[in-house]
């Protein structure tokens, strides 16, 4: 583990090729030198900087951190003196080990009460004391709600759900589920509603009031597998409601309901 600026210097002195950096502990972790700073990267993404005043400055915002979040939460304690945990959609807390009781690296450290700050580009810790130098209050990360856009979102969502529910009552899902059973798609062709591409498709469908067979087939293909017990059309409607609920924050941002604070 590299816990100070001096330790980063010593680590880089043994690098065979400084331009290529030097591996740290944990798969994907690598240290590079840029001038008098030492840059930590995970799978190519910049995580933070060791600075000459013996501070560590985090680089990612929540959206960027999401790409490497499993690695950060599982192995950060092996390379850096910090613990990392997800606390919401693209929201993460980080804390210096000096401020944690016992085994601060454990995955469940966030179960204890904590004042750990939320991560944002520029969040800085003093590596000597472990103190965070510039935490922001949690309220600074909560998006503002546009009341007029919220009305548009709710009206469009209610109208779209009514269409899907009518289709389910008419049994439109039944032949789609039968076709899926007869010719199941490969796992890599199954829709993942967390993916930006499919979120855009769902947003456009709700906005335009579209409830066609191709869209309903996506919900079926995303839910039905060879291990799934037979479902009714109304149970598929419940699955659609579940997908929308899980994707609510992303959809509301697309509708302009949630506005990021400046």
Q: State the pLDDT at residue 104.
A: 47
Structure-token match 């855009």, residue found: 200
Question: Is residue 91 a contact partner of residue 101, using CB atoms and an 8 Å limit?
Answer: no
- Dihedral, 114, 68, 246, 139 alpha carbons, nearest 10: 40
Q: At 154, which helix (H) or strand (E)?
A: helix 147-169
Q: What is the pTM of this model?
A: 0.63
Phi and psi torsions of 105, nearest 5°: -80, -10
Q: State the pLDDT at residue 110.
A: 56
CA distance 178 to 233: 11
Q: What is the pLDDT along the chain (262 residues), one digit of tens a residue?
A: 999 999 999 999 999 998 999 999 988 999 999 999 999 999 999 999 999 999 999 999 887 888 888 899 889 989 999 989 888 878 899 999 888 875 544 545 555 556 789 999 999 999 999 999 999 988 777 888 999 999 999 999 999 999 999 999 999 999 999 999 888 888 888 899 988 999 999 999 999 999 999 999 999 999 887 677 888 999 999 999 999 999 998 999 999 998 876 5
Residue 148, exposed/middle/buried by CB under 10 A (0-12, 13-18, 19+)? exposed
DSSP state for residue 153 in the 8-state scheme: H
Question: Is residue 117 a contact partner of residue 94, using CB atoms and an 8 Å limit?
Answer: yes
Q: State the pLDDT at residue 35.
A: 93
Q: State the pLDDT at residue 69.
A: 87
CA distance 84 to 107: 8
């Amino acid at each position: 583990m590299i816990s100070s600026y001096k330790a980063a210097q010593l680590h880089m002195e043994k690098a065979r090729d400084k331009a290529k950096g030097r591996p740290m502990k944990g798969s994907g972790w690598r240290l590079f030198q840029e001038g008098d700073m030492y840059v930590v990267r995970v799978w190519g993404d910049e995580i933070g900087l060791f600075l000459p005043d013996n501070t560590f400055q985090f680089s990612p915002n929540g959206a960027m951190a999401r790409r490497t979040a499993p690695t950060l939460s599982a192995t950060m304690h092996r390379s850096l003196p910090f613990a990392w945990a997800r606390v919401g959609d693209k929201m993460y807390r980080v804390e210096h080990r000096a401020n944690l009781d016992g085994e601060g690296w454990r995955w469940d450290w966030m179960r204890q009460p904590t004042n750990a700050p939320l991560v944002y580009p520029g969040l800085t810790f003093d590596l000597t004391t472990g103190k965070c130098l510039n935490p922001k209050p949690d309220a600074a990360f909560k998006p503002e709600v546009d009341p007029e856009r919220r009305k548009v979102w709710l009206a469009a969502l209610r109208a779209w759900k009514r269409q899907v529910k009518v289709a389910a009552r008419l049994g439109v899902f039944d032949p789609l589920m039968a076709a899926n059973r007869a010719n199941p798609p490969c796992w890599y062709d199954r829709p993942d509603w967390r993916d930006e591409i499919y979120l855009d498709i769902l947003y456009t469908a709700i906005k335009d009031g579209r409830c066609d067979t191709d869209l309903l087939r996506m919900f079926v293909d995303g839910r039905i597998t060879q291990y799934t017990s037979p479902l009714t059309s109304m149970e598929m409607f419940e699955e659609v409601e579940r997908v929308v609920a899980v994707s609510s924050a992303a959809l509301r941002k697309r509708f302009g309901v949630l506005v990021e604070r400046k």
